[in-house]
Structure 1
Amino acid sequence: MNVYPHNQLAINNILALLNSKSKVCVVHPTGTGKAVIIAQLLNHFSTRKNIVIGPTTLIETEIRKHTQKDFIFYTFKALELMSDEDISNVFFDNLIIDEFHRIGAKEWNRIIKEIESNNIKSKFIGFSATPIRYLDNNRDMAQEFFDGNIASYISLVQAIKANILPLPRYVSAIYSVDNEYRSLVKKIIGSNSHKIYTEKIHSAIINWEKASGLLSIFTKHLRSYDNKFIVFCSKVSEIEAARKKLTSIFQSIKGKVNSYTIISSNGYAQNNVLLKHFSDDDGPCLCFTVDMFNEAIHLDGIKGVDGVIQLRFTASPNIYYQQIGRCLSVNQFRQPIVFDLVNNFNSIIHSQFKGELEKEFLSNSNELPQIPIDARLGRATTNKDLINVSFFDETKEIRELFAKFSGEFDPWETQFALLEETIKKGQPITSKENTACFRFINSNRQKFRYGSLDPERAKRVQDLGIRLEVVSKNKWGMIKDGAVWNIPGTPLFNWMQHQRSRFLQSKLTEEEIIILRNAGLDLDSNLQKSFDDYLSEYKLYRLDISVTPMNKELKNWAKNQRNGYFKNRISAEHKQKLDEVGFIGYTDKDRQWELSLNKYTCGSIDKSILEWIRWQKVAFQDGFLKPWREEKLRAAGFDFTPTKITSWEETFELIKNNPKWEEVKALKKWRIEQGRRFREGCLSEEKTELLRSIGIHFSSVPFRAFNTHKSFEEHLEVYKQFLNDPAEPSMSKELKNWVANQRSKYNRGRLSTAQRHALDALGIMNKPVKERSWRLKFEDYKLGSRSSVLLEWASRQQKEYYKGTLEINRKEKLLAIGFNFNAISVII
């Protein structure tokens, strides 16, 4: 196993940080030897229980090539399919997460957090090439989950500069101009001569494809030894069309070409076979895939791969850099080639990658350990000149062709004329009245940043005094540029109010005061409300129940006071005033409760109020009603007498003695309920016969025969026997359904008092089945059994003991039989 200097440095930093931190991560580009680092860590922690999580089993295969140590591997999908009980039983000393940016996804984030809560003293180690979730509000998972504990950070451009990875030969080209063609035709469709122009454009595109299309580009850039490529498609449905087009091109250049398709739906076994055939193929060949290579496997594991072909229909930086990284490897001795093919001009972002490389090479930073370059092609002169000869933009000609045709019909000229006229009149270009100009400027800034804005147009915009480079986020600069700030609740509005406070404290310079006055901020009056002003407004809100909901300004104040109260960021005097009005204990639910009370006192008897009345009685009987609520209810003359629950027999007698019972809504609803219970097999044969005797028949056959139905008492007796019978291994499906049904009815208040007391006696809401399972294992351990299951159970008791989560009664039982909590080695 070859451990390069940058890998060894990362390993040393990880081990050093783990002495004081529980979470550590590494951000290295693809191909720099991530599997080697993980294998070395597994070797170091060989006496501990190690779990590795990755996107696919391919990363597991890579790791096992470099270590013989045992570890448990899960894919993210496998974790998602696990039950809550299985997840709660996942224990480890070290958890290694590959491609940890994935744990930002909602479901996987929930699962990882639940696992973390069960392993509070364990260590978490993460690896990713792209920790930023660009399409998820730019969430940085290194900061969010690993608390910013980055043991080693190497960007793709840093790795290339340090000779860790080779500089690829990069060719940017247009895969299809269909989208741009349709867009251009749409612009000119209203023209009188649109047919002529459409034919002219179509003819020009055909001529371009013949002279400078994909066939010409591949012929120009493919070297004699470039025979094996991986082709990334955006969707599985696009693979067939891409195969026909690229296979035809390669056959024209190379002769016979073999093609392979590796996608998730093939299955692990079939993909392994195809991967081996592709690896062993010496002739020209193409491997088409969608997501199998985006993460978890490197091209150096496949013999003779010369590069990748990207069919990108997106500008997602995550996918873009991952796919580029597929052809870069620390073990590579020949310059790879990347064909970046896009289907629209907006997706052309190679200039961004090139710009980052130039910036890095011009910097003086040289902190990374360099790898000896020996005879590696393209790695002996890592400088700006080499970048210029390694990047080829083959999109310029077609972009100029489309620009030529779109000049007359492009709305850019109209919008530019509007901007020019607005500036000449001296009108602001960022106000609400000129949103068109504001959007036009931002659109051109974005195009300028990605290199897709025509230089001549860029110069015309800049001649008007508009900056096209990225505008500084400094708020003083935004105010100088005339940004709109007087919208309450916006960050800029709050910042301006803060400047007024600084002015009153004499903390502003003369220049800053002039800027604020020119922007229209009144510095001579303090318009901010004091704490007492907001508190008085809050008291009025509490007293006037008709005011709902709370206005936005007061709501933000209340939120800030609540956060400050719990984080000790407000003064003791303010805390006391908030306590006097019951601020902390009053929630939105309490406000809703008061609204319902107001409706009740006003005589409203709608369905929601009737339900509310029932719940107040239930809460009072169970002792859950808040004292202040009880006080208000008594003041309103509320009757706490429990609502009488009519028994089945009483309802039956009402129907029997009332010929017009179908006109009574409650009785009709009861009859429908009996039909439902009959179809579910929950209505006893005796009750069914009684209903038939008064002419109520049910047409469909129940799900279960009548003789298999058990009453509540019968089910309860079976449940008692199960809890007390150690010979019964598990509950039957019928008993499980009954227990789940009783829990649901218990929570919704649909059980009689006697039934609730019977269930409370068994502790059904405390899930006694788990307690029974523990008790049975305890009895077996007490009798001397030491099976693998019991040894795992004993180890779990020790872990819970050390974590302080072992229940007292269980601890006492274990000590009573002489259980030694130090007998089995447990690493915390």
Structure 2
Amino acid sequence: MLKTYGCAAVIHPTGTGKSFIAFKLIEEHPDAQFLWLSPNDYIFESQRRNVSGNFNNVVHMTYTRLIRMNEEELNLLCSEYIILDEFHRCGAYCWGTGVERLLKNCPRAKVLGLSATPIRYLDNCRNMAEELFTVKGKLCVASEMTLGEAIVRGILPAPQYVTTMFQYQQELHRYQKRINWQVPNGAKDISQRQLNALRRALGQADGLEKIFSRHLKRNGKYILFCTDWAQMQKIKAQLPQWLRGIDDSPQIYCFYAGERETEAEYEEFLKDQRNHLRLLLCINRLNEGVHVADIDGVILFRVTSSPILYKQQIGRALTTGNGKQPLILDIVNNFDGLSSVGTIRAEMAAAVQKLRSAGKENLVRVDKFPIEEQVEDSIRLVRELENTLNNTWDTWYAEACAYFSSHGNLAVPRRYVTESGMQLGVWIQTQRAVFNGKARGNLTDEHVNALNAIGMEWGSVLDSVWNETWKLAKEYYEANGNLLVPDSFQIGGIDLGKWTAYQRSRKKNGRLSAERVAKLNEIGMVWDTVNSRWEQRYAQAKRYFDKKGNLDIPSSYRCEDGFLLGMWVASQRKAKTGANKSKRLTAEQIDRLTAIGMDWGGTQETQWQNAYRRAEEYYQQNGNLNIPYAYCTVDGYRLGRWLARQKNAGRKSGNCVMTPERVAKLEKIGIVWDVAR
């Protein structure tokens, strides 16, 4: 597939060896250059430790580092193969932009993508495999396997699964609020009785102390996933009470992003072989791309039902490879989370049916695993309560009619809440999702016709958002006469500058529909912005020249619209010398810049002289150079920082060059070097 189409995706669950496929490809092509991109250095380092070999032909880089690179640096990255690890993360705007630039710069590179799932569930369910690995209408997925299929085929072990709740009072309060504000009086008594029964059932369920005592081993090793620092501290404080029936001296370790010290704790946890209960509390670590050996299970303290995060975290338990049945203790604080295991059950059922239909019964190793639902009665009561609340469809429809009367449409923002506290935006989106088969629910023909009567649009939420943003772009065009929107420009809470740039990028890559291209053309879209933007920036440079008489612009100087004009002028010098071939200046552009005082050579010396002139002015006004480090001149130049760099150079430290001529000039205006030279 790589040879034929130039790209391929491998979609396998955590723990099945996706990274080994990439390392095998590298091993088979020792003379080729590989660029490996991943979310962070730690993931790659962990993967690298699990394979033998030198792999000297691999350059690793994070997605964050990629987006900071200029065109010249990108040219140096061109490789024969590019590995996009955890490629679903490329859906993030900034990271995706960086990857688009890279792939555009390396059109002949073969691209291999690795991910446990290509779907960005919290980003309107975007399928990143379709966006990144579709070539001429063909979806280039070389191999795809769900977590459920991996368990069915025995590639990953079937776990012992326990689910329960903690800190559920907020959820009960949410239901109470819905009953108070959303349910008609006739149905309130029924809903209230169901909620009271749910409250009693939750109160009778076993507490965490009993659950831990029943399932955790005294000499066991477990990873406990936390959501944030505050939650970790609360859990850490309560662990001695919860674990007192198992081990009075449990070994507690912490591991979270942003603190190098905790990496040492993680290494100690891995090496700890003591006959005690050992727990590693994690925040935003080990969620993806990392294999952790000899783990007896994971404990999930979840506040989200994100399928990606959920599967990545339980994958830590399923990848032990030590022959033991791993424990998954799923502790959620919301009722939606209680049904997460149902997704794995459904995947397993689908995998069993697929294999049997294909005559591969022998590949079915297991078709189910034990699940202990501590709150089974509560789950039933939640479903009954939800059914009662959902029967108030007419109440919701009345609110939708009121919104239509006021606004003339049903383009309700997702976070919109009515005066009575009903989340109408969420409800409208749910009706669309049910209609399009993307969510469960009961939407009758009568309901559909009623919504059609008040202007319901059944297209995707993304279509509605695009159309609303287009209207904002049209307003900008009518006010400014063009769509050269500055990158930082926002209107109505929308990053319109970034949005228009994204439309250009999608059209360039053939991913913008003809209909949308036509709509943008209606409002004067400029597709090739290089020349248009150059003219816009040149006009700003000329205004500066007309006012100041030169183009000696500090690199930090910003125009009124926030544009860094000083950096743009410096980039034009590079463009003239060919340092940036993709943006080489024409002879006409060079002549025009020269006419307004552009200094094409000796840029650093010119900048030093400009800074010295400011220091000289300060000396003439104050009689000394006792300038605070944070001092800035009227035009925004950081003179205090510049002077500190000169002193460092005088002591022969730092990156600034100090010549005898500069020393003499600085001493002429009273510099104090602080130490003997």
Q: TM-score range by the shorter chain?
A: 0.5 to 0.7
Distance 1:181 1:160, change over 3 A: same
CA RMSD of aligned residues (A): 5.6
1:337 aligns with: 327
**Which residue of the partner structure matches residue 289 of structure 2?**
296
User: Matched residue of 1:89: which SS?
Assistant: helix
Q: Which residue is equivalent to 1:456?
A: none
Asked if the contact 2:287/2:313 (under 8 Å) is kept, the reply is yes
Per-residue CA shift, 1:282-309, capped at 9, x if unaligned?
3211101111101121222xxx310111
Q: 1:755 to 1:79 in 2, by over 3 A?
A: closer
TM-superposed deviation, 1:63: 2.5
CA spacing shift, 1:490–1:276, aligned 2, 3 Å: same
What residue in structure 1 maps to residue 493 of structure 2? none
Residues 704-783 of structure 1 aligned to structure 2 (within 5 Å) = 712=550, 739-740=569-570, 757=591, 759-760=593-594
Residue among 327, 343, 349 paired with 1:359: 349
Instruction: Note the C-alpha offset of 1:252.
Output: 2.5
SS of 2:143's equivalent in the other structure is strand
SS of aligned partner of 1:24:
strand
Structure 1 residues 369 and 253: alpha-carbon distance in aligned structure 2, compared to 1, 3 A threshold: farther
Distance, in Å, in 2 between the alignment partners of 1:417 and 1:587 is 43
Corresponding residue number in structure 2 for 1:25: 9
* Count of residue correspondences: 479
Out of 588, 598, 603, the residue aligned to residue 523 of structure 2 is: 588
Q: Which one scores higher on RCO, CA 8 angstroms, separation ≥ 6?
A: 2
Distance 1:444 1:326, change over 3 A: farther
Name the structure 2 match of 1:169.
Answer: 160
What is the CA deviation profile of residues 741-766 of structure 1, one whole-angstrom value per residue up to 9, with x for unaligned ones?
999xxxxxxxxxx9984745899799
The offset of 1:23, in angstroms, is 1.4
Q: 1:156 aligns with which of 147, 160, 166?
A: 147
Matched position secondary structure for 2:310 = helix
CA apart distance, 1:740? 3.8
User: Structure 2: which 5+ runs fail to align?
Assistant: 186-191, 405-417, 460-477, 483-506, 527-534, 554-564, 574-587, 604-677
Is the 8 Å Cα contact of residues 222 and 299 (structure 2) preserved in structure 1? Answer: yes
Alpha-carbon separation, structure 1, partners of 2:120 and 2:198: 41
Matching residue of 2:170: 179
Amino acid of the structure 2 residue aligned with 1:395: V
Q: 1:114 to 1:315 in 2, by over 3 A?
A: same
Q: Structure 1 residue 392 and structure 2 residue 361: aligned?
A: no
Change in Cα spacing, 1:344 to 1:208, as seen in structure 2 (3 Å) is closer
Q: Decide whether the 8 Å contact of 2:151 with 2:348 is kept in 1.
A: no
* Change in CA separation of 1:69 and 1:589 when aligned onto 2, cut-off 3 Å: closer
- AA matched with 1:353: T
Q: Which one of 209, 219, 226 corresponds to residue 215 of structure 1? A: 209
Task: Indicate conservation of the 8 Å contact 2:37/2:85, yes or no.
Answer: yes
Deviation at 1:469, TM superposition (A): 9.0
Residues 469, 273 of structure 1: alpha-carbon distance in 2 compared, 3 angstrom cutoff: closer
Is the alpha carbon distance of 1:248 and 1:478 closer, same or farther for their aligned partners in structure 2, counting shifts above 3 Å? same
Q: Partner amino acid for 2:315?
A: G
Residue 186 of structure 1 deviates from its aligned partner by 5.5
| Amino acid in structure 1 at the alignment position of 2:375 | T
What is the rounded CA distance, in whole Å, between the counterparts of 2:568 and 2:101 in structure 1?
28
SS in 2 for 1:97: strand
Structure 1 residue 482 and structure 2 residue 469: aligned? no
> Cα 1:68–1:366, aligned 2, differ >3 Å: closer, same or farther?
farther
Deviates more, 1:333-342 or 1:393-402: 393-402
Aligned position for 1:721: none
Matched position secondary structure for 1:212:
coil
Counterpart pick for 1:45 among 4, 29, 41: 29
Cα distance, 1:181–1:330 mapped onto 2, change above 3 Å: closer
* Contact preservation (8 Å) 2:12, 2:18: yes
CA change 1:32–1:589 in 2 (3 A) is: closer
1:69 aligns with 2:55: yes
Counterpart of 1:89 in structure 2 is 76
The separation in 1 between residues aligned to 2:263 and 2:348, in whole angstroms, is: 39
The separation in 2 between residues aligned to 1:47 and 1:415, in whole angstroms, is 62
1:278 partner letter: L
Are residue 258 (structure 1) and residue 251 (structure 2) matched? yes
Percent pairwise identity: 24
**Contact conserved, 2:318 with 2:326, CA < 8 A, in 1?**
yes
The 3-state SS of whatever aligns with 2:5 is coil
Shift of 1:590: 10
Gapped runs of 5+ residues in structure 1? 1-16, 192-197, 374-379, 423-427, 451-466, 493-544, 550-562, 571-582, 592-618, 625-644, 649-672, 678-710, 717-734, 744-753, 770-828
Q: C-alpha distance in 2, partners of 1:590/1:75?
A: 34
> What does 1:189-338 align with in structure 2 at a 5 Å threshold?
212-222=206-216, 224=217, 227-267=220-260, 270-272=262-264, 274-282=266-274, 283-300=276-293, 304-329=294-319, 331-338=321-328
Q: Hey, what's the Cα distance between the residues in 2 that align with 1:80 and 1:46?
A: 28
Question: Which residue identity is paired with 1:97?
Answer: L
Deviation, 1:256, is: 1.5
1:250–1:125: structure 2 CA closer, same or farther, 3 Å change rule? same
Could you tell me whether the CA contact under 8 Å between 2:37 and 2:84 is conserved in 1? Answer: yes
Query: Whole-Å Cα distance in 2 between the matches of residues 161 and 287 of structure 1?
Result: 29
Report the 3-state secondary structure (helix = DSSP H, G, I; strand = E; otherwise coil) of the residue aligned with 2:313. Answer: helix
Distance 1:371 1:586 in 2: 56
Tell me the secondary structure at the aligned position of residue 240 of structure 1. Answer: helix
In the TM superposition, what is the alpha-carbon distance from 1:245 to its structure 2 partner? 2.1
Shift of residue 257 of structure 1? 0.4
CA distance, structure 2, for counterparts of residue 430 and residue 162 of structure 1: 50
Query: C-alpha separation between the residues in 2 aligned to 1:253 and 1:94?
Result: 51
Secondary structure, counterpart of 1:19 in structure 2: helix
Match of 1:114, as an amino acid? R
CA separation of 1:768 and 1:49: change in aligned 2, threshold 3 A: farther
Q: In 2 relative to 1, CA 137–188 (structure 1 residues): closer, same or farther, beyond 3 Å?
A: closer
* CA distance in structure 1 between the aligned counterparts of 2:429 and 2:215, rounded to whole angstroms: 32
Judging changes above 3 Å, is the alpha-carbon distance between structure 1 residues 244 and 328 closer, same or farther for their aligned structure 2 residues? Answer: same
Query: Which of 38, 51, 66 pairs up with 1:79?
Result: 66
Shift of 1:340: 0.8
Does the aligned pair in 1 maintain the 2:401–2:454 contact within 8 Å? Answer: no
Contact 1:227 1:284 in 2 (8 A): yes
Partner of 1:639: none
3-state secondary structure, aligned to 1:255? coil
The residue identity in structure 1 corresponding to 2:232 is I
Separation in 2, partners of 1:132, 1:468: 13
1:234-282 Cα distance to aligned partner (Å, 9 max, x none) = 1123211111223431233233101111111112x75155324334343
Larger-Rg structure = 1
**Residue 444 (structure 1) shift:** 14
* Inter-CA distance 417–340: structure 2 relative to 1 (3 Å threshold): closer
> Deviations along 1:472-529, whole A, 9 cap, x unmatched?
99xxx8589635446779468xxxxxxxxxxxxxxxxxxxxxxxxxxxxxxxxxxxxx
CA contact (8 A) 1:161 1:360 kept: no
Deviation at 1:159, TM superposition (A): 0.6
**CA–CA distance in structure 1, aligned partners of residues 572 and 429 of structure 2:** 63
Partners of 1:354 and 1:391 within 8 A in 2: no
Q: Following the alignment from structure 1 to structure 2, what is the Cα–Cα distance between the partners of residues 177 and 40?
A: 47
User: Does the 8 Å CA contact 2:292/2:320 hold for their aligned counterparts?
Assistant: no
CA distance in 1, matches of 2:34, 2:140: 20
Instruction: Assess if the C-alpha contact under 8 Å between 1:315 and 1:347 holds in 2.
Output: yes
Say if 2:355 and 2:361, in contact at 8 Å, map to a contact too.
Answer: no
- For 2:390 and 2:569, the matched residues in 1 are separated by 69
CA distance in 1, matches of 2:151, 2:115: 17
Q: Secondary structure at the match of 2:79?
A: coil
For the Cα contact (< 8 Å) 2:224–2:279, is it kept in 1? yes
